[in-house]
Amino acid sequence: MTDGSPSTTLIMGVVNVTPDSFSDGGRWFDADAAIQHGLDLVAEGADIVDVGGESTRPGAARVEPDEELRRVVSVVRELAARGIRVSVDTMRASTALAAVEAGAEIINDVSAGLADDAMAPIVAETGVHYVAMHWRGHSDRMDSLSVYDDVAVEVRDELATRIDALADAGVASDRLILDPGLGFSKRGEQNWELLGRLDVLAGLGLPILIGASRKRFLGALLPEGADVLERDLPTAVVSVLSAQAGAWGVRVHDVRGTRRALDVLGAWQSGRRG
């Protein structure tokens, strides 16, 4: 965790190189468009650009490994060549390794290594930072797995098990970042409970990434039929509250709005210090 200052809460901007993303409808599926979008996100204030080639929306089917590689590696290589800090959003060790070889500095794995046994050795071998997200199953069945007695405690304990497994594979703890997995095998009220009790996850002593951007539980706050882009304002509010709670970073689609929101928080905090 950080001290809650927006100067240390990083913004991870999302580049979906997919034709079926729920959030942007495949606008960046072409490699050139994806590269330009990544550059635009940095210009708007992103600290990290997260490139993914496989949709993890509820019900999404898996992408073939070769197709995922085709989608992401050229984008990662070009953005990294521009001096941009890039993360690769993948559950596959082969894609992760190729992306790191192309310049990615972070592997963002929504399965925390559960989807591919080869992932942990790759993380250990490359020494890059690794986002381990709470995960119980693939997108085609994750909604059926949202059964908890105490969601905050169980997410913490299941992530602690993954931390131990990663350590056994040689992954250094100072390389790890945790993600509570909002929307992944979580119902709306469970997402809010996780956000309201981030201190439980913080008890593990590792940085925390929050990925709430444009998700269904935010859409539930809006009028029926509201466009997905209308979720950007609620996302920015969650980003500010996450920063106040000490999040290491927030993963968002609307970088410009998030940057402005965190700047307001920074001004507020500077006033209190004065």
- CA angle, corner 242, sides to 55 and 134, nearest 5? 45
* Secondary structure, 3-state, 85-96: CEEEECCCHHHH
The single residue of 85, 92, 175, 215 carrying the catalytic annotation is 215
Residues 6+ apart with CB under 8 A from 123: 96, 107, 113, 130, 166, 169, 171, 175
* Secondary structure, 3-state, 30-52: CHHHHHHHHHHHHHHCCCEEEEE
Distance between CA atoms of 60 and 135, rounded to whole angstroms? 15
The H or E element spanning position 176 is strand 176-179
Annotation says 186 is catalytic:
no
- CA angle, corner 133, sides to 266 and 142, nearest 5? 125
Q: What dihedral angle (degrees, nearest 10) is formed by the CA atoms of 96, 165, 247, 125?
A: -40
Q: Cβ(11)–Cβ(258) under 8 Å? A: yes
Lateral strand order in the sheet of 176-179: 176-179, 129-133, 106-109, 86-89, 48-52, 10-16, 249-252, 209-210
The single residue of 136, 175, 251, 259 carrying the catalytic annotation is 251
Residues facing 210 on adjacent strands? 250
> Catalytic positions, please?
215, 251
